Structure 1
Amino acid sequence: MPHRSDRSPSSPSPSPALPSRDALAATLRAAGCVFAEDEADMILAAANGDPCAVEAMAARRAAGLPLELVVGWAEFGGRRIVVEPGVFVPRRRTEFLVEQALALAPDASVVVDLCCGSGAVGAALAAALGGVDLHAADIDPAAVRCAHRNVESLGGHVHQGDLFDALPARLRGRVDILAANVPYVPSDEIALLPAEARDHEPRVALDGGTDGLDVLRRVAARAPAWLAPNGRLLIETSPHQTPGALTALTDAGLHAELAVCEDRPARVVIGTPGGAG
């Protein structure tokens, strides 16, 4: 007689329960997240009711992955900007650069976002201005792929290459807003950055050379040939680099100014062709 098991067929394991906001916030707080409740809300929304997704995202965040990379987006300029692993996460302080550009060139029709990363600056400018000829460029293929997702819906174009070499030649002398959020961390200070940036963002988006101004100088030197007669070059910089950044713009033949927002804090050097203010 065939042997018959006395065991009943195993029933499926119950699905894990969705953690409460408080429980998730407690996990995140234990991992050192200062704004644990806000982060819990974002993770729960991004997971869309999937307990396994919540668990996976909470684990990645607890391991130190930036929240924006955990949920897949960053808020910038009132928009959700798609961000992906290996791409620089846009900082809220850089919104000041966008605000300055809009104030100085409210009728801009040609906009370039150099060192675009995710394309956040270009997307914010294009959304505010409407109907502009937007071009974003970056040397990093991962950034270019990500920028496509953020600017193509706004009619923008994304190019891969080294600074101005990536741009169509037809833009020379026609750019109204040239925004360049260049890498400006001195090479020997990268190790001192918070782990979220140091370990999870590409070095090419951070490393500005010995004094942090190498890329800025390269942009400034070639900007006059690309700017329209009343165009503006805008570059974010740091307090201790401000004198060198202003000198770089002046040496390139641009009228150089500084705009400061103490609240965020943020500093933007602004260059105008021909010495015009």
Structure 2
Amino acid sequence: MDKKTEEIIINKLRAAGCVFAEDEARLLISEAQILDTLIDMVERRATGLPLEYVVGWADFCGMRIKVEQGVFVPRRRTEFLVQQAASLTTPGSIIVDLCCGSGAVGAALAKVIGHIELYATDIDPASVKCARHNTTFLRGNVYKGDLYHPLPSALHNRVDILVANAPYVPTDSIELLPQEAREYEKRVALDGGMEGLDVQKRVVSEAPIWLAPGGYLLVETSQKQVLQTAEIFAQNGLIPKVTHCVELNATVVIGTQVSRVNTACKALT
């Protein structure tokens, strides 16, 4: 592609409000196979369609994660959730990814750790389709359904790591989100209820049924909600630990499942 064409594309994207117009122009040029395709991609991006939907993938933990239009686009801050989960995981671990969206978290964990036994769920059919594609290399088990509901009961008390990037945006704050999220991502992937804690509460309340003794639940949340999230963990018998990454502006609460033996000992003291 000649320099003049690239400059035209950059100017069009910049006029449309794309902050990183130069980088986006280069990506679109590299992804398009023919000129007609490039023109169509630039036009769609200029209308406000998120770049990830235009090219069909998102960069997450150095991986190309397939995303179809409407599927929640994995954020860079969620890489911190992967980092925290990976630090607690060993090869062969049983991992459950709730509200899995595109399946990015499970796929990234497999890349970092190697062999894992992955189970993932999401209520959105398009997300399930993408997650199955993105976890094909590790033969992940991806189910359509609400949180734990579609998981096999054989996993009760056997899950080593349970991760959930559940929606945590308060309902009244949806309108304050960037246009790309507000207008193009499905509300079910964003809306966490009045306080943003509704789905988190459901995730945490049932986690002890599924976690193995000494297993971990990791939930992404916000700095404003973190104390409430940690309290929800404690109320459900999990020992909470708050972790934060300044660089990614990411917050994760980690809950440890106390073994039945430890619980009995505490009851006798």
TM-score class, shorter: over 0.9
TM-score using structure 2 length: 0.93
* Structure 2 residue ranges without an equivalent (≥5): 263-269
* Cα distance per residue 1:5-24 (max 9 Å; x no partner): xxxxxxxxxxxx99732221
Q: State the alpha-carbon separation in 2 of the partners of residues 19 and 222 from structure 1.
A: 58
Tell me which residue corresponds to 1:41.
26
Q: State the alpha-carbon separation in 2 of the partners of residues 250 and 108 from structure 1.
A: 28
Instruction: Give the conservation status (yes or no) of the 8 Å contact 2:89–2:113.
Output: no
Q: State the alpha-carbon separation in 1 of the partners of residues 137 and 3 from structure 2.
A: 34
1:140 to 124, 127, 140: 124
Q: Give the greater-gyration-radius structure (CA).
A: 1
1:250 aligns with 2:234: yes
- Helix, strand or coil for the counterpart of 1:54? helix
1:84 aligns with 2:73: no
Tell me which residue corresponds to 1:273.
257
Identity across the alignment (%): 55
Tell me which residue corresponds to 1:29.
14
1:235 aligns with 2:219: yes
Instruction: Give the conservation status (yes or no) of the 8 Å contact 1:144–1:159.
Output: yes
2:186 to 185, 189, 202: 202
Tell me which residue corresponds to 2:45.
61
2:82 to 98, 105, 119: 98
Tell me which residue corresponds to 1:12.
none
**Ranges of 4+ aligned residues in structure 1 off by more than 3 Å:** none
Residue 248 of structure 1 deviates from its aligned partner by 0.6
2:173 to 189, 197, 200: 189
Matched to 1:172, the amino acid is H
Q: State the alpha-carbon separation in 2 of the partners of residues 174 and 152 from structure 1.
A: 23
Matched to 1:212, the amino acid is G
* Cα distance per residue 1:136-176 (max 9 Å; x no partner): 10011111111111012221111011101121111111111
1:225 aligns with 2:209: yes
Tell me which residue corresponds to 2:267.
none
RMSD after superposition: 1.6
TM-score using structure 1 length: 0.90
* Structure 1 residue ranges without an equivalent (≥5): 1-16
Instruction: Give the conservation status (yes or no) of the 8 Å contact 1:108–1:176.
Output: no
